[in-house]
Amino acid sequence: MKGRSGAALGVAPAAGVALLSAGVALLSGRSPTRLELERAWASPSAALPLGAGEAGVDLLAALAHGTARGLLLALAVVAFGFAVGTPLGAAAGMAGGSRATALARACDLVQSFPSFLLALAVLAAVRSPGRIHIGLVFCVTAWAPFARLALLQATVLRGAAFVEAARALGASRPRVLLGHVLPNLLGPVAVQCGSAAAAVVLGEAALGFLGLGPRDGVSLGALLEQGTAGMLRAPHVLISSAAAVAAVSGSLQLASESLRRAAGGQDDLLE
């Protein structure tokens, strides 16, 4: 019970950031792309709670839309990585032998190559990069951490008493995998979702900062780039965008760590 309450408290900041950004983006009626040159670099006011950025863009609307779209991108990439990597790692862990070794080596190879460099190489060749291109690049490597963790968990579960009992009763390998192994490793593997989502958000922000972000210009990285360009005349732009990136990535990492501790506590109780 204590572990569940701690996990809920750890997830709360990430949920709050997601709900706040989605609420402002959907309900405020503010446009993140409307330009009003007369209010360029305007300081925070009643009409512009966070001020304005380059060409008079509403900073509150841009941050809310950029955060919400970045979180949606992270959700899509993480869902793909989880759906592909988890069953792949579980199947290899149950098979053992050369299959498990081959998958472990493949995961090592994929994770040793920085996905950010791959994104730079691919997006530099795209005339008008969008979020779909960024998502596809991140999906190339997103499955590896989930497959690695599922492989380790399945290797442990392969010798568990309930798995041996299912085999003794005549259950086939696919039935054991789907009915007994996968349900018991989904929780520990899902803990990786928070860290993976934070990495996607930071990666998209870095690409946007370098000018390789979405072509609509609505991203946390593009706002960071604006902030550095006008940091002397309008420091509020850099402060707001940097705070948004820190809040999103930090809350996701906190959620991941809280879930990891809760899962570890449950494992200790089971032992």
Provide the residue-wise pLDDT of the chain in tens; the chain has 271 residues. Answer: 555 666 677 889 999 999 999 999 999 888 998 888 899 899 999 999 999 998 899 999 999 999 999 999 999 999 999 999 999 999 999 988 899 999 999 999 998 887 888 888 888 888 888 889 899 999 999 999 999 999 999 998 888 888 888 888 887 788 888 888 888 888 888 888 999 999 999 999 999 998 888 888 889 999 999 999 998 889 999 999 999 999 999 999 998 888 777 766 544 433 4
Q: How far is CA 216 from the centre of its chain?
A: 21
CA-to-CA distance for 162 and 176, rounded, in angstroms? 10
> Residue 4 carries which side chain, given as an amino acid letter?
R
Q: Return the half-sphere exposure (C-beta side, CA atoms, 13 A cut-off) of residue 2.
A: 4
Using the 8-state DSSP alphabet, how is residue 58 labeled? Answer: B
Terminal alpha carbon distance of the chain: 17
Of 194, 189, 188, 193, give the one whose Cα is nearest residue 268.
Answer: 188
Look at the chain and report how many structural domains it folds into.
1
Q: Is the residue at 13 inside a domain?
A: no
Residue 5: per-residue pLDDT: 66
The range of the structural domain enclosing residue 261 comes to: 50-270
Q: Is the residue at 20 inside a domain?
A: no
* Tokens, residue 213: 């972000």
CA-to-CA distance for 115 and 132, rounded, in angstroms? 16
Q: Is the residue at 223 inside a domain?
A: yes
Q: Is the residue at 40 inside a domain?
A: no
**φ, ψ for residue 58, nearest 5 deg:** -70, 115
Of 185, 219, 178, 182, give the one whose Cα is nearest residue 202.
Answer: 219
Q: Is the residue at 261 inside a domain?
A: yes
> Residue 106 carries which side chain, given as an amino acid letter?
A
Work out whether the CA dihedral 84, 108, 253, 192 comes out positive or negative. Answer: positive
State pTM to two decimals: 0.89
Residue 211: per-residue pLDDT: 86
Q: Is the residue at 140 inside a domain?
A: yes
Q: Is the residue at 27 inside a domain?
A: no
- What CATH number has the domain bearing residue 220? 1.10.3720.10
